Structure 1
Amino acid sequence: MSDLDWVSVGPADLPEGRVKTVSARTHFICLSHFDGQWAAMDNHCPHQGGPLGEGTIEKGHEGKCYIRCPWHGWDFDPLTGKPPGGHEDSGQKTYPVEVRDGEVFIGLEPEPEHTRTVTDAMAETMVNWGIKRVFGMVGHSNLGLADAIRRRVEDGQMSYTGIRHEGAAAFAASAYGKLTGKPAACLTIAGPGATNLLTGMWDAKVDRAPVLALTGQVQTQVFGPGAFQDIDLASAFSAVSRFSQTVLSTSNHTELVSLAVKNALIERDVSHLIFPDDIQTQPSSKPAAKPEGRMGGAVVLPTPEDISAAVDLIAAAKRPIFIIGHGAWEAQAQIVALAETLGAPVVTTFKGKGLIPDSHPNAGGVLGRSGTPIASWFMNECDLQIVLGASFSNHTGVNRAKPTIQVDFERMQLGKFHPVTLPIWGEIGAFCDQIKTRIRMNDEGPDQIAELAERWQMWRAEKTIRLAEEGSKGAHSAAIFAALSNVAPADALIAVDVGNNTYSFGRYFETKGQHVMMSGYLGSIGFGLPAAMGAWAATQDFEHLRGRKVISISGDGGFGQYAMEMTTAVKYGMDITHILLHNDELGKISKEQRSGEWPVWETDLVNPSFAAFAQLCGAHGIKVSKGHEVEAAIAEALAIKGPALVEIMSDGQLI
């Protein structure tokens, strides 16, 4: 036995007549102590993989000791691994045991060279296609895939974030895609792990964020009859995914990954791969696929006729305005330059908040329910709307009666809800480049920049008046977001939840260049903290985001959805500051009940001290209840290099 590797599995403190599971390298072993003897065998019962180390030692035939499996009662001789007969001739693999100076050692054969698997080839292909991050939970039906990801992580080619709930992984990946335009992956087990992804996958789909879902599945031999955690994942994901395929032994495995990532990137959508348990560890010699030669140019150019028509409409307008949405992020600088040339206001949809800093002379704030009276006034006064990368959501309330130029790279978005004056199919940046030398300010129009300054002065005076309304129930939202406006870094990445806290953020927070992420068209509560986790991961994975502070905002209802992810933030040292507005209520729903003349019912909440909760999780936590206390508390939290939570007792009526 001199060629064995002797691995310590701990002190020799197992009582007589007992068994337990120990680990030696990657092996799980059933260790037993009986009649003054020590023995070790493979921990997995050959019947259904039951954990023998959780079983018992019992006297069997002729007083002989046997290890009994806790699942179905199969017995094995601890010294030979053989059953007493009748159900498994091969028995169990046994290992030599030695006790040295009160420590137990198990002899293992030298570790064989790793056999490259199907999931190894697929993980290598993911790396080639630029998948840098996996959010997920390791479990029994994804262990082969998880091991392939582990190897890529240990090689420094990927990073992994283990979450507490798969829904948080989905929101984190969605926010990662919204921020970077690149897909992250989500790893789950079969059944409930996979279905827990669906809300976040819908968030990604409707907001056009690329995501790659990787779900485990039961073994192929038990598909269909109703095995434990066997559900039809292809059907479950059919509506939410642009691409969904099951990985089989006959599949072209690396091609499936290539198509999945390509669909996510080009279509800005969800791709899904299903990994049956037995397929994950099958050997593969197939080389990893690469994206070279698989992607064409991405720019859709508007037609010359459309450009000429747009130039004519702009030349005739005396009060043009730009309305820009989230789809215009990549053309920020070009749009602002056009607005400066025309002397035109730039207002944004809520999803586009931050596209132009509110401190810019051309900025008019957010349009719609979450917006400012400035934006609404200029939309009502304008004689031409230039709508770039925005839909006509009822929450935004773009005026349908005004002459409108709409530009979008997705053709189905043009005139989606009603006809527009000039729909233009093309990339927004390309549109800006083609008209920039052909437009100028109309000399007959008013000085809209001066009007903007005047309107901002009026709105800021109104916000100051609202600060004086604060009563005994907690801080006014105007005070909370005035404080955050003062101290948030200009390049911060801000993830917002849904609810009154979000409406108030849109209305009162003044951007200086921050990037805002939200659950836009889905409007899902609970998005804030998991999205911040995704944004933080992006700051680790992309050089241009490195060092940027991540801030998340929620109400008490939203935070409660994924509160335990605070421990995830602590585990990975995530530099996230969470601003929590606490009013013991689902305030937005209460408000809707009142406005609909319903009684307020079942919107009250019972909450802990969230600051104390954050501290118990290992994060920084601070609690304030007055508007004048908020700025110092946020500044203190922002100075923490790690997870921090500011709990602000707020008045749900002062929004």
Structure 2
Amino acid sequence: MSNNIQWHKVLDDKNKLQEGRVVTVTAGHKDLCISHYKGKFTALDNKCPHQGGPLGEGSIEKGLLRCPWHGWDFCPHGGSSGDYDDGLETFELKVEGDAIFVGLEEEGPHEETVTDVMVETMVNWGVNRVFGMVGHSNLGLADAFRRQEDKGKLKFIGIRHEGAAAFAASAYGKLTGKPAACFAIAGPGSTNMFTGLWDAKVDRAPILALTGQVATQVVGTGNFQEVDLVRAFQAVAEFNQRVEHQSRHTELMTLAIKHAILKREVSHLTFPDQVQVLSAKGAKAQTPKGRITSLTVAPPQEQLDEAIDKIKTAKRPVIIVGHGARFHMDRIVQFAEKLNCPIMTTFKGKGLISDDHRLGCGVLGRSGTPVASYFMNEADLLIVIGASFSNHTGITPKKPIIQLDFDPLAIAKFHKIEVAVFGEISRTVGLLNETSEDLAKDKIDQTEEIVARWEIWRAEKQKRLAEDRGKGISSIYVFDALTKLAPENAIMCVDVGNNAYSFGRYFESKDQSFLMSGYLGSIGFALPAAIGAWAAVDNERPIVAVAGDGGLCQYLAEFTTLVKYKMPIKLIVLNNNELGKISKEQRAGGWDQWATDLVNPDFAVYAQSCGGFGIKVHRQEDLKKAMLQHFENDGPGLLEVEADVKLI
């Protein structure tokens, strides 16, 4: 007997394996078939040589071990296949007491694969969060993730639907400006990610999509779960490559991540099954050192001078900031304070300045406040920073506009503007701040007007708070309560629909950050986005997700993901048993209201059944107490609010 044999206990009690039966066991990293026939136990290779059928799931018929897939027969003792030359390997077996042990050659050290060095390269670039689902066509890549997680360098979050993985990674990119990875098997697992990838693409969030693929030799043959993923991802991915045997593997990963970061785009790599386990042959992981440039680019001087001249002559300028300004607000607020200049935001930029700030005017547009729209209409100059001029925001082209942005394609995208300033936003606003003393001369101080307009709006909200049709709690009341009780530094994840419009209009922000599906406007975003936010901040900041019943049901099973990873995410669902926004659009368009009614579970009971906290509120007078209880609970939880579909 070899000195390198390692014995593995595979069965605690031999008596539980009946005479004439077989069972699959695992010894180390190897699956084996244990047979019990004529009083003898035998350890055999578990894979049928035909197509790898699991013999431990087969049966012994007429003295032969029969494969459960195609009925091939083998001797249950010696593995012989009769007249054929493809019998089964057998392994040493011993019985000690009632336990059965199998002896295998001691495993050698792990040999690094191409996926090992590619994943290490990914981690070296700071991409250390992966959302996805492990499956049969991505197991080699999944094992590379596992090795990095075992070293404490990567966090893998297993989700229940690949669409949620893509949304989570998109939200992570929106919040941090850095890419995370979403991960799926070939075929349906990969195509499930498309909506979340498009969300990232249109909102310019960096994201890395990693997909398994069937063996290259069967691509194009109609093989099981075979989809040409390079062609399928062509429209959504800026960088889109198949990993090949002869690829420069770590360079391929480096290029994918560089495209995601620098272009704020989708990068996709697909890994054929056989490539995932290729030897790295001594290849080393790459790092970003020497591979990426600083992005703090100053604007052309003539553009800056033109903007300065325009600001000098304005009496009532206002600043409008969008999601693209989210990492630069300290300098923007400093600039506004020197000008005593109102700041309003797009809906995607909600919360970039607190509504309590003396210059804060809330959200502009369809989800906005009359405070913001008043100051835009009264302004003689709009200074637009990191915003994209969507119809939803409604920035008027009738006013003189200075637009500052780090993306030249975003500048004057839809119509002519007066002054275009291309440069990194912090650098550009910093240069404006250096001249702001001169710029502040002869400006009308609008701070008292801001106070007055907020008073008018808050008085109007008080009137709306008194409305009660006896058909559920009004959204106005829900978001008024949320304003008072939500943690001031929370990350707020918003879905789409009437709940989102009401959220934008009635919730008054403090130091919260907000995440939403902006240009794509995808229903179902809020819950998976909260998972992405938690992966970015862990438990350092509270996370609140707000959804309607229609949106929540898109990814309702992800509540079990919250429970599995102990994510203390607070979910609030406004349940009106209707796709309320669509009903509203049908009525507004002169259509009959049709097919928008919903049948829902008891969401609070569902949350409890998953192992989380769940509470349901029917009456307005009970809402604040329930919401406080919800926020004070330590783990994942769900507050269900029976809402009035008309009071939005």
**TM-score of Structure 1 vs Structure 2, range by shorter chain:** over 0.9
Question: How far 1:384 sits from its partner (Å)?
Answer: 0.4
Q: Tell me, which stretches of 5 or more residues in structure 1 are unaligned?
A: 60-64, 541-545
- Report the equivalent of 1:209: 205
Q: Describe the SS at the equivalent of 2:209.
A: strand
Q: Describe the SS at the equivalent of 2:251.
A: helix
Question: How far 1:218 sits from its partner (Å)?
Answer: 0.5
- Which of 333, 337, 341 is equivalent to 2:338? 341
Question: How far 1:305 sits from its partner (Å)?
Answer: 1.2
Does the CA-based 8 Å contact 1:317-1:442 persist in structure 2? no
- Report the equivalent of 2:133: 137
Encode CA deviations 1:525-573: one digit per residue, 9 max, x unaligned: 0110000000001113xxxxx5101111100011100000011110000
User: Once superposed, what is the RMSD of the aligned Cα atoms?
Assistant: 1.3
Distance 1:531 1:300 in 2: 31
- Report the equivalent of 2:48: 45
Runs of 4 or more, structure 1, over 4 Å off, are: 440-445
Question: How far 1:42 sits from its partner (Å)?
Answer: 1.9
**Superposed counterparts of 1:423-502, under 5 Å:** 423-440=420-437, 444-502=442-500
- Which of 640, 643, 651 is equivalent to 2:644? 651
Distance 2:76 2:178 in 1: 53
- Which of 262, 268, 273 is equivalent to 2:258? 262
Question: How far 1:121 sits from its partner (Å)?
Answer: 1.3
- TM-score (ref. length: structure 2): 0.97
Does the CA-based 8 Å contact 1:479-1:628 persist in structure 2? no
Distance 2:407 2:378 in 1: 29
- Which of 132, 135, 145 is equivalent to 1:149? 145
Does the CA-based 8 Å contact 2:358-2:450 persist in structure 1? yes
- Report the equivalent of 2:297: 300
Encode CA deviations 1:453-497: one digit per residue, 9 max, x unaligned: 011111111111111102321111111111111111111111111
Amino acid at match of 1:334: R
- Report the equivalent of 2:10: 9
Distance 2:347 2:150 in 1: 40
Does the CA-based 8 Å contact 1:490-1:514 persist in structure 2? yes
Encode CA deviations 1:375-401: one digit per residue, 9 max, x unaligned: 111111111000000011011100111
Does the CA-based 8 Å contact 1:525-1:558 persist in structure 2? yes
Does the CA-based 8 Å contact 1:55-1:69 persist in structure 2? yes
- Report the equivalent of 2:58: 55
Encode CA deviations 1:406-431: one digit per residue, 9 max, x unaligned: 11111011110000111111111112
Distance 2:519 2:352 in 1: 18
Worse-superposed segment, 24-33 or 586-595: 24-33
Does the CA-based 8 Å contact 1:315-1:439 persist in structure 2? no
Distance 2:635 2:537 in 1: 13
- TM-score (ref. length: structure 1): 0.96
Q: Describe the SS at the equivalent of 2:302.
A: helix
Distance 1:369 1:46 in 2: 64
Worse-superposed segment, 290-299 or 354-363: 290-299
Indicate whether 1:36 and 2:32 are aligned: no
Distance 2:88 2:473 in 1: 67
Indicate whether 1:636 and 2:639 are aligned: no
- Which of 121, 125, 130 is equivalent to 1:125? 121
Encode CA deviations 1:254-303: one digit per residue, 9 max, x unaligned: 11001011111111111111100011101112111111110011122111
Does the CA-based 8 Å contact 2:49-2:86 persist in structure 1? no
- Report the equivalent of 1:182: 178
Distance 2:79 2:644 in 1: 68
Distance 1:315 1:627 in 2: 51
Question: How far 1:445 sits from its partner (Å)?
Answer: 4.6
Query: Residues 528 and 52 (structure 1 numbering): CA distance in 2 closer, same or farther, change over 3 Å?
Result: same
Question: How far 1:108 sits from its partner (Å)?
Answer: 2.1
Encode CA deviations 1:76-118: one digit per residue, 9 max, x unaligned: 22222221223xx242222223333323322222122111111
- Report the equivalent of 1:82: 80
Amino acid at match of 2:502: S
Does the CA-based 8 Å contact 1:496-1:554 persist in structure 2? yes
Q: Describe the SS at the equivalent of 1:135.
A: strand
Worse-superposed segment, 387-396 or 302-311: 302-311
Question: How far 1:442 sits from its partner (Å)?
Answer: 5.4
Encode CA deviations 1:98-150: one digit per residue, 9 max, x unaligned: 33332332222212211111111111111111111111111000011111111
- Report the equivalent of 2:588: 595
- Report the equivalent of 1:543: none
Indicate whether 1:419 and 2:412 are aligned: no
> How many corresponding residue pairs?
643
**Superposed counterparts of 1:44-443, under 5 Å:** 44-59=47-62, 65-86=63-84, 89-284=85-280, 285-440=282-437
- Which of 581, 602, 612 is equivalent to 1:609? 602
- Report the equivalent of 2:519: 521
- Report the equivalent of 1:530: 528
Amino acid at match of 1:386: I
Q: Once the two structures are aligned, what percentage of the paired residues are identical?
A: 56
Distance 1:537 1:611 in 2: 24
Does the CA-based 8 Å contact 2:338-2:440 persist in structure 1? no
Amino acid at match of 2:570: T
Q: Describe the SS at the equivalent of 1:390.
A: coil
Q: Tell me, which stretches of 5 or more residues in structure 2 are unaligned?
A: none
